Structure 1
Amino acid sequence: MKTTYSYEELLKFDDPFEYEVGLPLKISDLPSSVMEEDIPNSKTTLFEKLAEGYSLIIQKPRIPNGKVFAALPLLDENEFMKLYMVNETTFTEALWDLLYEREYDLHWAFFLLKERKGVVFKLSYTGGETRSLTLSNLKANTLIHLRLEVNQSVTCRWD
């Protein structure tokens, strides 16, 4: 299965990322296109994208996760959440297991991002407003959300 939505088609949806595409985050800037597709293996795709220079961004609650997150760069935090960045060299099997286990946890969000420069991350629960991580300033970028258990991906592209 492969479905592609153009910018014009996305404009017709009430909330394309919650109801149509189902991303675990909010995006302030509507992408040029969104592609949903079945992939052979989520884990293999994740490793390939990390090798291509993508960063894995993880938002998680401030609850302790010990050794898994100890060596990862912290991008931001607030009183409720922490935001980490993972690359090819910092990714571990233990982290894969944890992400797979937490895939449907409403307090977690993770996705691949091609370029981090200039992207604005607004952590969830900031000021009690929302439960979703919000991204903005995604100029000429690619964001990939992997659905680990069902081996699917959602790719958002900005031109």
Structure 2
Amino acid sequence: MARAWWPEGGDGGGVAGVPGFVHSDFAPVVVAVAERCLRRGYGSAGVPAGVRTGVVLVSASGDRVSAEHVRATVESGGRIGPLFFFQSVPNSVAGHIAARWGLRGPVVCLSPTGDPYADGTTEADLLLYDGDADEVLLILIEQAPDTSTEAVAVLLGGGARP
């Protein structure tokens, strides 16, 4: 139904911050790619009332930058800010997207055991097949230690499977 990436052309200036998420670009990239995908699928009108859109977030590493910051802070005897407890769970950013867009389907976060896209689409298929969602916003994101954060979001439903 729609697809988006981070980064795309013109994203050289970085990603905008998201209130309630600090230090890392994990949550801002998830939000940017999800909103880009949803806008491509629905425009500014948003998801129609009555459509149950689930969110499946797939990441093998999770928010690596925040986890490393927390580890280093604990090792040095420092104090961890309370927002790190909130953002340490990937469901928090998935829930942020669902609330911001009025999505009424389930939210699932996966750490893939195989191919991330295959694991994510399998979960999306289950949500669609079981009738838990009419469509699924599938988001795949990784933070590698030596490259910038990359993500893709795909809106699946109505037989669409890019």
Which one has the largest radius of gyration? Answer: 2
Structure in which a larger fraction of residues adopt helix? 2
What TM-score does the superposition give when structure 1 sets the normalisation length? 0.31
